[in-house]
Every structure is written in structure tokens, then in C-alpha cells.
């Protein structure tokens, strides 16, 4: 069989979207990097500048110095995200919801960009948490990350809860921390019930998150993968497009709109 051109792949993905009723978008770091947010694992990523062994859940929980290091990194990440905006990949996925096609977004990202682009909070399942929110591990009081960032700018190195002086922690999953139970179960259920899973910007190497597209396939859904690099599931995809999510979906969505008129 002749290899498809990019135009043919884009047409095929648009047709799959039009025919589908329950789409799950599975997004990874590649979606965020298009907004200028560096990923963790790639060359030049976060772990090329920080030692990941110093950023474990146990380090954060049990040592003051560990919490200090975490908050130094979180301050950098928070300030970077404050000046970034959703990109065309986020916009396209938000449009799928407006068109009544999207069941949910399952994301490995913690930046809240899908919600900022227009996806409903209850349709975004953040498997690794949300960096825009902070909670007290003792009394469960909640804080917006923006407020905690202001404390850090004022010189507080390890912020504590104003109510009980308990340890504050962002709602993100650290190395060595258990995956969130509700989000993991809900993501699996949604993946098993979709009719099309679109992977955008994920190399599908981080588990258990990367099981979700497999669950979709096992349940009879179509699989589309948009990613610059190879993934272990490329050979199983019904449509495989090499490229950036925003650039690809910017070409897909006008064709979807045209067919839905």
C-alpha cells in the first residue's frame, strides 16, 4: 500500500473526527512545549538543569531542604506559565468540545492550559495534577498558586499554611507519589468508552498514563497519534501524523468544520 501524504493523513483524521461521537484527547508535554513551557525529559528540558533524584515525594515530605528545592523549581515553573498562553493545539481540542464531539481530555500536563483554552473543568482529567492550585497537607485549606508565588517573591523559601502552619504542597504528582485514584479510574473508564482516541504531543513512555490509548484500542476505538517523535504504539494507530499538534490540528479543524456544515 502506498504511503499516505500529509494531506491524505489530515483528511483521514478529519473524517474520523466527523464520524466519531465520543472522542478522548490524550495530551502530553509536546502540547505544552508549543506554548513555550519546557518539558522535563528532552535535551534542554527541566531535568538537564535539575537533578530529578532531589525532587521526590519523600524528599518533599520529610526534609525542609527538600521542600525548599521543590519550591525553587515550582517558582520558576509558575512564573514561566504565568506569561504563556494556550496554543492552536489547545484551541482545537477546546473546539472539539464546542462541536459536541469531545468526551474528555486526559492530560499528563499540569499547567491548566486546556481549561484556559476553553475546555470545561469537568472534561479535563489531569493525571499528574494541576500546578495552579496548592493545598495544606494538614487541614486541606486551598490556595491559588499565584498567591504562593507572591510569598516566594517576598522571600519566603518554604511557605506554610496560614491557618495551621501545616506543609503546603501543589496539587501535582511528585516522583514516588501515588497516582490520584479518582482521576486514574475515570480516565480508564472514559478511554474504554470512547470511539476515537487522539494522542497529541506524547511519546507514550510514562506509565500508567500511557495505558489510556491502549485501553481505547482494546475496546474497539480508533487511534490517531500526532507527535514529532516515534511512539511504541505507532504501528497500532489508524492515523499516524509526525508533526506538532498545533500545526497539524490547525489544518484538521477547518476540514472538520466544513464537513459538519
Q: Mind telling me the catalytic residues?
A: 128
> If we measure between CA atoms, which residue out of 158, 123, 130, 129 comes closest to residue 144?
130
Handedness of CA 119, 121, 124, 128 (dihedral sign): positive
Residues with Cβ within 8 Å of 63's Cβ and at least 6 positions away in sequence, in order, are none
Task: Report the greatest alpha carbon distance in the chain.
Answer: 66
Place of cell 494541576: 130
Alpha carbon separation from 213 to 41, 66, 114, 237 (Å, rounded): 21, 35, 19, 10
- CA 81 to mean position of chain CA atoms: 14
Amino acid at each position: 500500500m502506498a504511503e499516505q501524504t500529509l494531506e491524505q493523513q489530515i483528511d483521514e483524521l478529519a473524517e474520523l473526527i466527523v464520524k466519531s461521537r465520543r472522542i478522548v484527547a490524550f495530551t502530553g508535554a509536546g502540547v505544552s512545549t508549543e506554548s513555550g513551557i519546557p518539558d522535563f525529559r528532552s535535551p534542554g528540558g527541566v531535568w538537564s538543569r535539575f537533578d530529578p533524584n532531589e525532587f521526590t515525594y519523600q524528599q518533599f515530605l520529610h526534609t525542609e531542604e527538600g521542600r525548599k528545592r521543590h519550591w525553587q523549581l515550582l517558582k520558576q515553573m509558575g512564573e514561566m506559565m504565568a506569561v504563556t498562553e494556550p496554543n492552536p493545539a489547545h484551541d482545537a481540542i477546546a473546539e472539539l468540545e464546542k462541536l459536541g464531539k469531545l468526551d474528555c481530555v486526559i492530560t499528563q500536563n499540569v499547567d491548566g492550559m486546556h481549561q484556559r483554552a476553553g475546555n470545561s473543568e469537568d472534561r479535563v482529567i489531569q493525571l499528574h495534577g494541576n500546578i495552579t492550585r496548592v493545598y495544606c497537607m494538614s487541614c486541606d485549606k486551598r490556595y491559588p498558586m499565584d498567591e504562593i508565588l507572591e510569598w516566594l517573591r517576598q522571600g519566603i523559601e518554604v511557605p506554610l499554611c496560614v491557618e495551621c502552619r501545616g506543609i503546603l504542597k501543589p496539587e501535582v504528582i511528585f516522583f514516588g507519589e501515588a497516582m490520584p485514584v479518582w482521576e486514574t479510574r475515570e480516565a480508564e473508564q472514559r478511554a474504554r468508552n470512547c470511539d476515537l482516541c487522539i494522542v497529541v504531543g506524547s511519546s507514550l513512555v510514562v506509565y500508567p498514563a500511557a495505558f489510556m490509548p491502549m485501553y481505547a484500542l482494546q475496546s474497539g476505538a480508533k487511534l490517531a497519534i500526532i507527535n514529532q517523535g516515534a511512539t511504541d504504539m505507532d504501528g497500532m494507530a489508524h492515523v499516524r501524523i509526525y508533526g506538532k499538534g498545533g500545526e497539524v490540528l490547525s489544518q484538521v479543524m477547518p476540514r472538520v468544520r466544513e464537513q459538519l456544515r
